[in-house]
């Protein structure tokens, strides 16, 4: 059975005409805060199976992500537990491109994950040529970055993200 999808304009029209849906945004809390469809509830993809009871049984559930990919993956995870799942075609990006309303609850600062990726990437870009041209000892930097990334994936916590979260630019503005 193929996944049922709705375009942003069709979903908006149906919502405007009073049709009821439970809108579930499966992106990370940071992505959700940066802009989501009005009325959407944040239920990150990695929590979906554990939070089955948060899904309504009387209204169709529309799964939303940034571009549609994670929503389709979440639909596959949940279809054994819920009969009425729909994926928003093109996700939040398509919704925004259709100039439909969006709720923003966060500032425009870079997410911690993007900051971690930029620092790790920069460390790798600098250390690799230094190891090749200057001294083999510089290979310890990419090795440490790799260990850190593996550890973050294995434990669900990232030491660099924790450290970055304490930096002045990532603190709440007063």
65 is catalytic: yes
Which residue is it, tokens 């809390």?
29
Catalytically annotated residue among 65, 75, 78, 86 = 65
Task: Give the DSSP per-residue string, 75-144.
Answer: HHHHTTT-S-EEEETTHHHHHHHTT---B--S-SPPPHHHHHHHHHHHHHHHHHHHHHHT-GGGGHHHHH
Residues carrying an active site annotation:
65
């Amino acid at each position: 059975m193929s996944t049922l999808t709705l375009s942003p304009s069709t979903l908006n029209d149906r919502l405007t005409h009073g049709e009821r849906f439970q809108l579930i945004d499966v992106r990370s809390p940071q992505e959700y805060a940066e802009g989501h469809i009005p009325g959407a509830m944040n239920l990150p993809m990695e929590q979906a199976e554990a939070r089955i009871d948060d899904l309504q049984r009387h209204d169709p559930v529309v799964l939303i992500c940034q571009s549609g990919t994670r929503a389709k993956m979440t639909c596959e995870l949940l279809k054994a537990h819920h009969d009425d799942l729909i994926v928003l075609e093109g996700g939040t990006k398509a919704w925004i491109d259709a100039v439909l309303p969006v709720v923003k609850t966060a500032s425009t600062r870079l997410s911690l994950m993007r900051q971690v990726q930029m620092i790790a990437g920069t460390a790798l870009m600098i250390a690799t040529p230094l190891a090749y041209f200057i001294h083999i000892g510089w290979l310890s930097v990419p090795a440490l970055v790799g260990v850190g990334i593996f550890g973050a994936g294995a434990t669900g916590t990232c030491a660099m993200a924790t450290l970055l979260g304490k930096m002045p630019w990532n603190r709440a503005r007063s």
